[in-house]
Every structure is written in C-alpha cells, then in structure tokens.
Amino acid sequence: MKYKYLFLLAFAVLSCKNDKNSQAETTPVEEVKIDTMLTYLIYPEEKHFKTLKQVTHGGNNAEAYWSFDDKQLIFQSDFKKWGVSCDQMFLMNADDVFDSIAPPMISTGKGRTTCAYFLPDNKSFVYASTHLGGDDCPETPLRREGKYVWPIYDSYDIFIADLEGNITKQLTTEKGYDAEATVSPKGDKIVFTSTRNGDIDLYTMNLDGSDVQQITDELGYDGGAFFSPDGTKIIFRASRPKTQEDIKEYKDLLAEGLVQPTQMELFICNADGSELRQLTNLGNANWSPFFHPSGEKILFSSNFEAERGFPFNLYMIDLDGKNLERITHSETFDAFPVFSNDGKKLIFSSNRNNGGGHDTNLFIAEWVD
C-alpha cells in the first residue's frame, strides 16, 4: 500500500489506449438491463467478475478500504473538481457513485494524506497525514536520472479520526516517516511502515498506539502490508537491494527521502514477523497485495509481463507461490485490489473506461471463484 498510485506519474506522458470493449456492439441504452450495465466494463477474459460497476468518474482515486460491516468505503483522491490539490480522504456508502459532486471529505484538507483504514467500530478510521508539517501539499519529487521515485515524507504521522473528520488521537510521534497503516480483521493490531530506525521497515502496534513492535529488519523498503483474514499472517511488498551499487543507490535515495519502487517482490510472514519468506520472484514491480477471503491465496498487481513498465494487471497466487493466475486484462493499469469482509465484492483502481485520458477510478466487482 502506498500513498500514491504506483507509476501513474510515469504513465502521464503516455497515451492510454481505449477500452478493449469500446468497439463491441452495444444494446441501445433504453433497452439495457441493469445486469448488462454492470458487465460491459468487464474484459472477456475476466472470469472472476460477475459484474463491474464504476463508482468514481474523474481524478486519481485509489486505496479504497471497506468498513468492517462492508457498508462504507474510505478512499483517497486528488480530484481537482472536489477542491483538493493533493490526496485527501473521502467517505462513501458502498453503493454510491460520484462524479463532479464530491463525497464528504473526512481528512483535514491540509497537507497530503494516505492509507485510511476503518477501525472495528465502523465509526472511526486510521490514516496518515503530513498536515503537522504544513498546510500545503508537500512537493512531489521529479524523476531522478530517468528513474521513477516515490517520496517518503518525514512529516507523515498516523492519526485516528471519526467519520466527521475530527482527529481524536495521534498514534505516532517518532521522527521520520510513519504511514501505510492497516488494521487486522481480528481488530486488535495495526501494521504500518516507518523509517524510525533509519531504514524502511514494518511495525505493529495496538489500536491505541501502544506496544510498538518491529517485525522486519532486512535492508530495503517494506510496505503496503495487510493481515490475513484470521489475523495470523502479513503480506507485503519489499525491495531487496543486493549488489553494492544497488545498496548505495537505495541508501542515497533514502537519505533524500525517496525510494525507487520499480523492483519489488511480495513477502509473507507471521503477524509477529517470524517465518518470513519471499512469495514471488517474478521481476519488475509486484505490489498492492491483499489476501483472498479464503486466506489461501494473494491478489496483487504486477507489470512482470510488461516490456516497457506497463500495463499493470491483477494476478492471484497461492501462499506457496504456485498456481499464478492472471485476473484482469487491462492495457494500462489495474491495482489496489481489496476484498469486502464478506468476500463477495472486490474494489480496485483502474484506468479503464477513462476516455483515453489519465484518470484512475474505482471499480467494484462481484467476485466469482
């Protein structure tokens, strides 16, 4: 999980192709049934989607997470028509659709925010924000020597807020980057990413911020972590620089508050960090993992089949690294897959159906195993 949409800035200079299905014959609107309206966005190969509904129409919308009762979603957006200059948090009912009319904003509107996740009471959420470091959006870094980089803002801290946007507690106060927080389905722990030890590692804490435990310690970026449905395991993305040249580049970028996310694989461990192992070895960027409701598979985004860095598609893999299956068949970008708690729906971000522009929107699919 990350506060900005991986490689979208890189995509901004490229022309996106139209939806594959845009050339298909369509039924006149007045004759279309609701079921058809919810399937025309599905590519023919996407057999796990029974229906697919687009729920945002404009801007960059991503990292949408369900409430524990599956009735609401929180997501981040930088949609200018909603009056924001960089990512802020918005609340929606699970059956809402939004375009030019903004949903309620539940972050402060100051600084930049990332990774909002509901707490078990369904009345509050945890998220990271830079607002204590200033009201303005922090500067977005440029590419370095032609390479895409992510900012690791040291002004990020993690907060709890209610659904009216009132901050009720600050969970982190350590110097450095604290962000990418998600909550265990058991409702007892938060996992997050921090630079408090000089590297980018994973930590867990109680819901009140107590009992902070470091659970990864290998050199490299560890982030985007999620618990398994039973709360016993954690899946995350990581870079692991090995050569002296790669290690130097990683450390030099980190000293500038940057990380290069173009080479990442998925790792899995127990919730306490034990039995850590690498799950994928596909090359390129494998990221935004999320557990299948069974707890026996991982859904994730990857460009490992791409020659020029894109497209990104969703894939599924068993916990033993076998039975890799491609889920989506986009020509541009599909990422941030998140299952509802009842396992019936999947929300994800996609460039499909954006008219050939650069908007990234949210889509909800009825999932079929």
With respect to residue 2, please indicate whether it lies within any of the assigned structural domains: no
| pLDDT per residue as tens digits for the range 322-358 | 999 999 999 999 999 999 999 999 999 999 999 888 8
With respect to residue 330, please indicate whether it lies within any of the assigned structural domains: no
Classify burial at 210, counting beta carbons within 10 Å of its beta carbon; exposed 0-12, middle 13-18, buried 19 or more: exposed
With cut-offs at 50, 70 and 90, classify the pLDDT of residue 34.
very low
State mean pLDDT over 298-321: 94
Its domain, for residue 180, covers 8-311+337-348+359-367
With respect to residue 44, please indicate whether it lies within any of the assigned structural domains: yes
| pLDDT per residue as tens digits for the range 48-102 | 999 999 999 999 999 999 999 999 999 999 999 999 999 999 999 999 888 878 9
In DSSP terms, 213 is beta-bridged to 204
For position 17, what pLDDT does the model report? 30
In DSSP terms, 178 is beta-bridged to 194
| pLDDT per residue as tens digits for the range 254-291 | 999 999 999 999 999 999 999 999 999 999 999 999 99
Give one word for 122, left, alpha or beta, with left for phi > 0 and alpha for psi -120 to 50: left
Q: Return the CATH number at 87.
A: 2.120.10.30
345-353: long-range contacts, CB 8 A cutoff, minimum separation 24: 345/70, 345/94, 346/49, 346/299, 347/55, 347/64, 347/66, 347/73, 348/314, 349/5, 349/61, 349/62, 349/63, 349/64, 351/11, 351/16, 352/19, 352/41, 353/19, 353/41, 353/54
Cα separations in angstroms, 161 against 157, 182, 256: 13, 14, 30
| pLDDT per residue as tens digits for the range 201-241 | 999 999 999 999 999 999 999 999 999 999 999 999 999 99
Whether residue 308 is predicted with pLDDT greater than 50 in this model: the reply is yes
With cut-offs at 50, 70 and 90, classify the pLDDT of residue 4.
very low
Max Cα–Cα distance, the chain, nearest Å:
63
State mean pLDDT over 25-31: 31
| pLDDT per residue as tens digits for the range 240-251 | 999 999 999 999
Whether residue 7 is predicted with pLDDT greater than 50 in this model: the reply is no
With respect to residue 209, please indicate whether it lies within any of the assigned structural domains: yes
- Tally of domains within the chain: 1
With respect to residue 353, please indicate whether it lies within any of the assigned structural domains: no
With respect to residue 328, please indicate whether it lies within any of the assigned structural domains: no
The Cα–Cα gap between 11 and 145 comes to 17
The Cα–Cα gap between 182 and 184 comes to 7
What would the two tokens of residue 197 be? 């030890």
293 secondary structure, DSSP code: T
Residues 6+ apart with CB under 8 A from 312: 6, 7, 285, 301, 302, 303, 306, 330, 332, 333, 334, 335
| pLDDT per residue as tens digits for the range 116-146 | 999 999 999 999 999 999 999 999 887 667 7
